[in-house]
A = this chain, B = another copy of it.
Amino acid sequence: MSVVSRAACVLLLGLLWASVSPSPSSSPSRVRIPPHDQVARVARFIAHQCDWASMATISTHKPVVGQPFSNAFSVSDGPPGSSSGVPYMYLTRMEISVQDLEVNPAASLSMSLAQTDYCRQQGYDPQSPLCAHLILSGSVAEVNGTEAEFAKKALFSRHPEMIDWPSDHNWFFAKFNITQVWVLDYFGGVKTVTPEEYFQASPYRKHH
């Protein structure tokens, strides 16, 4: 093989590698879900894997006052590899769901592995229980001080665009205070874990 053709092949191999190497957020090698019987670990895994969530609130907006309302928000429970289990959010009171929360902070967050490449790669339909998803019940509250510092690190590391969001929106950091954890990750219906079990669990595989 000539030097030129070898160089061309090396370049092609490099491009090929770059193109098949998935981004960190969608890497199949990183998406190794814990065993389904370790429910709290599965919950922590999903919470750390997903970088956005659907939040349900009780609407305060006409014509649906008092009705449920579903909306999407970026979340982070920590920088990649540093999971706290607490979903942090970067919110503004200009936002419709946040206005709901000011009247009634009760909310529910759902995150599904359908949001990652996992279910597509495994061939699991988004509604299949094997396409694991997590539902958190609780409420949303502003955080301050050192917790706000952690929230900032958690969010801005995974959502770098946030740094440049318009300052006149009066963004603040908030946490989802978890009161109940619901997990759909296998056949046989929903399973629940307590917040204590959830926070004690490790989302990562143990290395031997």
Contact = CB atoms under 8 A, between A and B. Distances in A.
A127 interface: yes
A5 B5 CA distance: 7
Given A69-B56, A127-B73, A5 B15 contact: no
A27 B58 CA distance: 35
Copy number in the complex reads: 2
A49 interface: no
Contacts of A193: none
Nearest to A126: B52
Nearest to A69: B108
29 contacts: A1-B1, A1-B4, A1-B8, A2-B2, A15-B16, A26-B120, A52-B112, A53-B70, A54-B110, A55-B70, A56-B56, A56-B68, A56-B69, A56-B70, A63-B180, A64-B179, A68-B69, A70-B70, A70-B109, A70-B135, A71-B133, A72-B114, A72-B127, A73-B126, A96-B182, A96-B189, A96-B190, A115-B115, A126-B159
Interface in A66-119: 67-74, 90, 94, 96, 106-110, 112, 114-115
